[in-house]
Chain A
Amino acid sequence: MPIEVTGLDELIVDLDTSQVRVMANVVKAGHVFGGKVRKLWRSFDSGLVHAPGYPHVIGYDMTLAGDGIEVEIGPAAGGVGDLGWVLEYGTSHSPPRNSGARALALCAGDLEYGVGLALEKTL
């Protein structure tokens, strides 16, 4: 019984471009993740009497690294951003706020979900 298979050319083209589309969606997921952690971290560290401007220096950078992405989230170096270590880990006489780690832990599942969704949308 003859079997007719059509659309192979389209499939080849589709597979050729899928890597680019996966990457585009992963980048989108990275931005969503970075933005979410930043927002939570800012909310945890807002209203500090001694560092009212600190939440505004918390940001994120995303770079393409090899075949993936790298998202770096935290306070910018310099100025009030230098309080980052002190607030996150405390000092010899003050407790850690641990806001960055808390925000990251709360959003870790979102990154997994976002990347999964990115792959699902592409394929």
Chain B
Amino acid sequence: MTVTVPQLRPHAAAVAAVLTAAFGAVSPAVPLGVGRKPDDTTGDRWAVLYPLTPRFDGPIADDAADLIYGFQVTSVATTVEQVEWVADLARTALLTTDLTVAGRHCDPTSPTGGPGVQRDDDVIPPVYYRPEQYQTFTSPA
């Protein structure tokens, strides 16, 4: 019996690759951090990718073969307009680009929700941020 174990790291890398390409296509580029604030936040906008708790599924004989991979992109900027712009950039890239993970078929990414723009007064100077969650269903290719 063959048991499939979906690897999470390549999924995170695939999402990061899509976002990095989109963020790198604008000038100045929007820095992306994975799991933490990017090192270079000298600009007035950035984004952070957070992988969320994965859910496994599959047939009885291989019950973890399929993966529902969820993640959050938190767009951050010093103004509401900028944060919406970064969030739009991320959303457009994620919803129009299929993830590429070796050995897996990835369904199109879909948004699963998130609150509106929030103001973070815990940092000085205050910044605005918009968290948006997404998920994709992936199965063995």
Contacts and interface: CB of A to CB of B under 8 A. Distances in A.
Interface residues of B, number: 22
A98 interface: yes
Contact of A92 (B55, B72, B76, B133): B76
Nearest to A84: B115
A85 B115 contact: yes
A98 B72 contact: yes
Contact of A91 (B35, B114, B120, B133): B120
B74 interface: yes
Nearest to B114: A89
Given A85-B118, A96-B72, A105-B55, A91 B129 contact: yes
B55 A91 contact: no
Contacts of B52: 96, 98, 101
Tell me the interface secondary structure of chain A in the complex: loop
Contacts of A98: 52-53, 70, 72, 133
Interface of B: 35, 37, 50, 52-53, 55, 70, 72, 74, 76, 112, 114-115, 118, 120, 122-123, 127-129, 131, 133
Given A91-B122, A98-B52, A105-B55, 18 more contacts: A85-B115, A89-B72, A89-B74, A89-B131, A89-B133, A90-B74, A91-B120, A92-B120, A92-B127, A92-B128, A93-B120, A95-B35, A96-B52, A98-B72, A98-B133, A101-B52, A101-B133, A105-B53
